[in-house]
Amino acid sequence: MTYCVGLALGTGLVFMSDTRTNAGVDNVSTFRKMTVWEVPGTLCLTLLSSGNLATTQAVISQLEERGKAPGERDPGILSAPSMFQAARIVAETLRDVVATHESGGMTADASFQATLILGGQIKGGPPQMFLIYPEGNFIETSEDTPFFQIGETKYGKPILVRAYDRSLGFADAMRLLLVSFDSTVKANLSVAPPFDYRFLRHRQPVRRAHGRIQADHPYYIHISEAWGRRRGRLAASEMAGERVKGASPSTAAQGQSPPPAASHIEWTPRAKAAPAPPPPQAPTGAPRHG
């Protein structure tokens, strides 16, 4: 399984993907789920993939082959005049690969299905992002659907739904994504670091940040531990409040002292937290906050 997310922000597009692949608990490996095509100053496309690994790799291989010989192998994704046309090319390629595998007598323990996220910018147009289904159809982000997830989505979705804001800057978006990915990692063994990330700034397809966050990255460790502590304190506070609300009306009549209010509970003092490590580098000139 895998987990990939694409966010559409006012400042641009942000992508993140994990790298774990597995065919059972005893067959685990690392494989990149993010593919990038770039023509400096003209276009920058990012493709996130989830599903059958053979299918996604066949799609990527076909798209790259067409790009190397555009005169002989149209349509090529690097010659697409718009993001919509690029999404159409990817969608048709995915549909054809799935159909070929399923009708060619190939067998597998799992389905040949795959789902993709394509985002980027082509000179003259705005940054756009599409969710592409194995049937060959696709949808675009909107105000009602400002981000896409594929793969193991359920564990990391609640934080995205609650905390996403279109005005987020790169640093805040990175924090949000790392919490979402960390929640998924904690709940599902089929998702794991390292995480690949990429940021494409609005109207500047050549100005982007990208990199890989390993499991021992200081910033990721800080985010994971801080989120865990805050969730633990919140849960304890909520349970204390429930005990107060659930106190029996006859408690006072029986001469017993009521439980203390949540605000009067004494917490064990914590050591002063060390300063947070800096987040991965943002693009030059990009705002660090929304």
Is it the case that residue 290 has pLDDT exceeding 50? no
More confident of the two residues 158 and 67: 158
Average pLDDT, integer, range 117-125: 94
Edge-to-edge strands, sheet with 128-132: 34-39, 43-51, 114-122, 128-132, 138-140
Q: How confident is the model at residue 160 (pLDDT cuts 50, 70, 90)?
A: very high
Question: Is 156:149 a contact under the CB 8 Å cutoff?
Answer: yes
> pLDDT tens, 165-218?
999 999 999 999 999 999 999 999 889 999 999 999 886 655 568 999 999 999
Q: What is the pLDDT of residue 272?
A: 53
Average pLDDT score over the chain: 82
- Is-contact 132 91, C-beta < 8 A? yes
pLDDT band at 230 (very low <50, low <70, confident <90, very high): confident
pLDDT of residue 289: 38
**pLDDT value of residue 12:** 93
Write down the pLDDT at residue 208. Answer: 66
Q: What does DSSP say about strands 12-17 and 20-22: parallel, antiparallel, or unpaired?
A: unpaired
- Mean pLDDT, to the nearest integer, of 41-47? 93
* 284 secondary structure, DSSP code: T
- List, for residues 73-102, the tens digit of each pLDDT value: 567 899 999 999 999 999 999 999 999 987
Give the model's pLDDT for residue 275: 67
Q: What is the pLDDT of residue 277?
A: 75
Residue 72, pLDDT score? 52
How is 38-88 classified by DSSP, letter by letter?
EETTTEEEEEEEEE-HHHHHHHHHHHHHHHH-TTTSPSPGGG-SSHHHHHH
**Cβ pair 139, 150 in contact under 8 A:** no
Q: Which two tokens stand for residue 258?
A: 């009521």
DSSP 264: G
DSSP secondary structure code for residue 184 in this structure: H
* 182 Cβ neighbours under 8 A, 6+ residues apart: 220, 223, 224, 227
Name the residue among 174, 132, 224, 158 with its Cα closest to residue 14. 174
Q: What are phi and psi of 156, to 5 degrees?
A: -95, -5
Residue 240 pLDDT level (bands cut at 50, 70, 90)? confident
* Average pLDDT for 107-111: 56
The C-alpha angle 148, 191, 110, rounded to 5 degrees, equals 85
